[in-house]
Amino acid sequence: MSGAVPPSAPPPQRSDFPHFLAIPTRWMDQDPYGHVNNVQYYAFFDTVVNEHLIRTAGLDVAATREIGLVVETQCRFLKEINFPQTVQAGIRVVKLGNSSIAYEIGLFRDEETDPAAFGRFVHVYVDRETRATVRVPERVREAVAPLRIEAAG
């Protein structure tokens, strides 16, 4: 099983996420259809995960020996996000394996409790030089421990 979020499952609410990052939308995030373009949702995912790792695990993207490569992403678009709005990006960890971490991300418009989008983001840790799979570093495990939840189903 891929771990994908079933489309019929109700998305989690704001209270289901232990950590948030406020990300203001920018004028340039909108597309000709008048809403934030779908590619920006994935940028929000990347931002909330990596901001947490930089701040709490001391991730140095230029020098850290073990790096997390994104091997899977998924997004369910539920409501439009527009400019100017602040995206409240919530993250939680649904799986912490030997060499991988599976995150779920909720994107909320301003202070809304129902998500505008809900997604999944998986890192697999590898050696920067050889790209061989390695164990998730202890400092990263400690940083994501407060984000862990019991996986549903």
Q: pLDDT, tens digit, for every residue of 94-135? A: 999 999 999 999 999 999 999 999 999 999 999 999 999 999
pLDDT band at 151 (very low <50, low <70, confident <90, very high): low
Cα distances (angstroms) measured from residue 123 to each of 33, 110, 127: 32, 27, 13
- Tell me the torsion sign for CA atoms 22, 28, 29, 35: positive
Question: H/E element holding 74?
Answer: strand 66-77
Instruction: Report residue 6 as tokens.
Output: 């079933």
pLDDT band at 4 (very low <50, low <70, confident <90, very high): low
The pLDDT score that the predictor gives to residue 136 is: 97
Q: Tell me the pLDDT tens digit for each residue of 56-96.
A: 999 998 999 999 999 999 999 999 999 999 999 999 999 99
Instruction: Report residue 14 as tokens.
Output: 């704001």
Q: Using a cut of 0.85, tell me whether the model's pTM lies above it.
A: yes
The pLDDT score that the predictor gives to residue 63 is: 92
The pLDDT score that the predictor gives to residue 152 is: 46
The answer to whether the beta carbons of residues 44 and 97 sit under 8 Å apart is no
CA distance 144 to 27: 32
Tell me which residue has tokens 């001391």.
58
Structural domains of the chain, with CATH? 14-147 (3.10.129.10)
The pLDDT score that the predictor gives to residue 65 is: 94
